[in-house]
Amino acid sequence: MSTCTFIGNTDMYGLGIRIGFYLQWFGNILALWVARGEVQGMRWSNSLFIAATFLALIIQTEKDNLRPVEIYIILLLTFGGYLYFVPLYIWRLLTGCAPEWDPSRFPLVKARKLFSALNFLLLVSVSLFQLWFWISKVESVGSDGCQEYGFFFAKLRLNEKGFVVANILFHFFLLLCCLVVLCITIGKVLKILEKKESVRIG
Exposure on the CB side of residue 52, measured as CA atoms within 13 A: 11
pLDDT digits (tens, 9 = 90+) for 112-133: 788 888 888 988 999 999 999 9
Q: What is the pLDDT of residues 22-66, one digit of tens each?
A: 888 888 778 777 877 887 888 888 888 889 999 999 999 999 888
The predicted model scores a pTM of 0.77
Mean pLDDT calculated for residue range 97-115: 73
